[in-house]
Amino acid sequence: MIDSHCHLDHEPLYEDLVNVINRSKLVGVKKLLTICTTLESFEKIKEIVNKDEIIFGTFGVHPHETNQNKVLSSEIIHQISINKKIIGIGETGLDFYYNHSDKIAQINSFREHIIASIKTNKPLIVHSRNAEVETFDILNDYKKNNLKILMHCFTGSKEFAEKLLTLNSYFSASGIITFKNSTTLQDTFKILPLEKLLIETDSPYLAPIPNRGQKNEPSFIKYTLNKLAELKNINPLEMDIYTTNNFNRLFFN
């Protein structure tokens, strides 16, 4: 299994990192991708990725943080070039649910990340909430560039998913798909191609059932894998092979 999106720099994971990593290995996790959200968090991530061979990282600014963290594509490209275990760009995107950053700042930041992704050929980790039209329209502007797109913690509509497939996007399932009230999202994952699916914890957030309400961690990824296998009507071992191969194809090809 591969946890394609976790935040190992966040507490309580960071203070217990050795045990968190060991517990993930015990359940069969082979890689962890720890995701950058601010310029400050990147300093921790550069340290974390060197603590264990299974850990990789990204560089980028979360849409909530774009007012306080302005980053240019040139800086992203530079950091990717000098840090070999930084294999993705983001998380970036648009979040119009909260008012943490203004829309123009988010859009400008998103485009800087996209330019960096094109120039480095590194996958773009996209966060989209209450911004389906705007997210797709911006990504579609760069369709001819064959972006590597990963829709992290995908909770969008079936229509949004179908449009994103025209851009060759990948979709990551989080613990949300295990929630009893997520039937609409479950139906969307049922129609997504197996070749486009990844799994994630988004830990320490969004712990899956049966651990909902706890602080999430990468070892809980098995519950999301099992639920996704159930939705796709295949064996969990087969789903593990698909999601692992999809991750490796996206990030290491």
Name beta bridge partners: 127. 93
Residue 181 has pLDDT above 80, yes or no: yes
**Cα separations in angstroms, 5 against 22, 36, 78, 99:** 17, 10, 22, 24
Nearest to 62 by CA among 106, 99, 92: 92
Q: Is residue 58 classed as helix, strand or coil in its secondary structure?
A: strand
The pLDDT, as a whole number, for residue 77 is 97
> Which architecture does CATH list for 2-252?
Alpha-Beta Barrel (3.20)
Q: pLDDT confidence of 148, banded at 50, 70, 90?
A: very high
% of the chain with per-residue pLDDT over 90? 96
**Cα gap 117→99, rounded to integer Å:** 26
The pLDDT, as a whole number, for residue 168 is 96
Distance, CA of 183 to chain centre: 21
Mean pLDDT estimate for the chain = 97
The pLDDT, as a whole number, for residue 14 is 97
Model confidence over 206-234: pLDDT tens digits? 999 999 999 999 999 999 999 999 999 99
Dihedral, 118, 250, 153, 33 alpha carbons, nearest 10: -100
Q: pLDDT confidence of 20, banded at 50, 70, 90?
A: very high
What type of residue sits at position 23? R
Whether the pTM exceeds 0.85: the reply is: yes
Average pLDDT (105-134) is 97
Nearest to 232 by CA among 177, 198, 172, 191: 191
Domain positions in the chain: 2-252
Residue 120 has pLDDT above 90, yes or no: yes
Q: Is residue 54 classed as helix, strand or coil in its secondary structure?
A: coil
